[in-house]
Structure 1
Amino acid sequence: MTLTPVRLGQALFTMVDPSRGHEVAYNRWYERDHRYSGCMIGPGWFAGSRWVATKALKDLRFPETGPVATKTEDGSYLAIYWVHEPEMEEAEAWARTQVGELYAAGRGFAEREHVHTGQYLPDSTVSAREDGVPLELAHDHNYGGLVVVMIEAADGMDRADAIRTIDSGPVKTLLGKGAVDLVSSWRAKPWPADHNVPMKMGNDGGSPDRILQMCFLEDDPARSWQQIIDYAAEIESSGAGTVTFASPFIPTVVGTDKYTDELW
């Protein structure tokens, strides 16, 4: 039998706020129903993880406003899912149908707001180690922290050149400091013309050519946040682009309501 390696084709990135007063109900609905019925049981959806930004973590965010989060307090929960490359079209078609059927059956949750939800395609991955954790396994490695960085390429800078500049300079410097283990860069994938969902999907995240980075850490990112501040400054001084959103997240404790009382 020939084994076919898993090929990461795209990601779903969804940052959401529960309505105030509905934090526990939202958390339970998402973990005990929607995370699985709306994503993980679908064809091609092979991995995922869920993250939270408490008020203390949100207070570390910068800049104060931007195209991803209008205010630094926006976006308490982040769910990220990987989709297998050979099944991308099937996965998308299934998700569109499935979400509609779930809402029609009364299995939606109205007391929430999408801050930014989008599909992203992988551009590059840089690891701190020669034989580090493959990006396909990042969700199952049980990382202790995640930093999301959104970058707009500088005027006149080709997007691919901007990523090469960032990966060869600022990313290598960041990884060399020891806190961040893996940095992946992503490009936005437009929603299909027939995309029809029963809720608004939040901000557009910036220009179509923006660069989304997911930085995985073994430890709580608050403990090494100065490294991210310095990283953003180095990106801008390199001439590659401008950071429009930088946020630390920690993993939720699945099956519990931990952190639901620390969001605001």
Structure 2
Amino acid sequence: MADVPPVELGHALVGFLEPHAGHERAFHRWYARDHLYRAGVCAPGTLAARLWIAPPDLRALREPRGANPIGGDAARGTHLSTFWVQQGALDEQQRFVAASMEAQRARGESFPHRDHLFTHRYRHAGSVRRDPDGVPPELALDHRYAGLVAAWVDCAPGQPLAGLESALRERALPALLAGSPAELAVVLALMPKPPEWPADFPEPPGLGQRLLVLCFVAGDVRDAWPAHFAGLASRLAAHGAGTLALAAPFDADVPGVD
């Protein structure tokens, strides 16, 4: 009998992507109906996966409005893919995905008409729940949250990464979630590029200085944004929680719907 360890979120893979003009529908169909599964769900160690979409009205809410170090132009980055990986299973999961992607490229089954704006691996650096018995992070992608706010946060000058992690977990995120429709915040720390990844993938910018916070929202993220996420840079700074690189709201993708 297989000895299955307790379920524990250990790592995440998050892709921030932009299809090329004229290929939007084809890209979405390929990613949602094929790539999401072959690049993650089918791999050993993958706990869950979810795709998120940013239509024009949500992209208009992003902060800052100008250029940012995550996607460049704030109007780019319509798709965000999220994969949870079991603690201790990342190496095996990545070997499977690399082999699967190589086989697909050899058969001409990959999709070249898209850009990876900020696609990297992350270490789970802790989570904050609004309610003591709320949804645990392991179940967040399966809970069917309607909305998500992704916030990339950089260390303030002279601030160590561990200090930023604790400032977020202990002060900034509890204050952000209190009284809001955001029920859960998952903190993720960038990891180095693995040897299995294609050579054209760069080392993650901000390694050792940048975190990604995923805030899971019950209800329409448009309703939550003005009172709870607008001006996020100031909200974070008030708690000594670094500087905001990009805050971006998304709708949950509905599987099977273009």
Alignment of 1:182-221 (within 5 A): 182-192=184-194, 194-197=195-198, 200-201=200-201, 204-221=204-221
1:52 maps to a residue whose letter is: I
1:38 maps to a residue whose letter is: A
1:12 corresponds to: 13
Unmatched 5+ stretches in structure 1: 258-264
2:82 corresponds to: 80
SS in structure 2 at match of 1:238: coil
2:60 maps to a residue whose letter is: D
1:111 maps to a residue whose letter is: H
Alignment of 1:57-76 (within 5 A): 57-63=58-64, 64-76=66-78
1:260 corresponds to: none
Structure 1 residue 196 displacement after superposition: 3.7
Deviations 1:44-63 (A, max 9, x none): 11201000001100000011
Structure 1 residues 167, 85: CA separation in 2 closer, same or farther (over 3 Å shift)? closer
1:261 corresponds to: none
SS in structure 2 at match of 1:86: coil
1:122 maps to a residue whose letter is: H
Q: Which moved more, 1:231-240 or 1:206-215?
A: 231-240
SS in structure 2 at match of 1:141: coil
1:191 maps to a residue whose letter is: K
Provide the aligned length of Structure 1 versus Structure 2.
Answer: 255
Which residue, 105, 114, 123 being the options, matches 1:121?
A: 123
* Alpha-carbon contact 1:143-1:216 (below 8 Å) kept: yes
Q: Which moved more, 1:140-149 or 1:236-245?
A: 236-245
* RMSD between superposed Cα atoms in Å: 1.8
SS in structure 2 at match of 1:43: coil
Structure 1 residue 162 displacement after superposition: 2.0
* Alpha-carbon contact 1:152-1:209 (below 8 Å) kept: yes
Structure 1 residue 80 displacement after superposition: 0.3
Structure 1 residue 6 displacement after superposition: 0.9
SS in structure 2 at match of 1:89: helix
2:133 corresponds to: 131
Structure 1 residue 203 displacement after superposition: 8.8
Paired with 2:229 and 2:171, the residues of 1 have a C-alpha distance of 14
Paired with 2:220 and 2:41, the residues of 1 have a C-alpha distance of 26
Structure 1 residue 204 displacement after superposition: 3.5
Pair 1:222-2:222 in alignment: yes
Deviations 1:12-35 (A, max 9, x none): 000111111111111111122211
1:262 corresponds to: none
Deviations 1:38-90 (A, max 9, x none): 22111111201000001100000011222102111111001100111232211
SS in structure 2 at match of 1:129: coil
2:23 corresponds to: 22
TM-score, normalised by the number of residues in structure 1: 0.91
Paired with 2:5 and 2:187, the residues of 1 have a C-alpha distance of 24
Q: Percent identity?
A: 32
Paired with 2:15 and 2:74, the residues of 1 have a C-alpha distance of 16
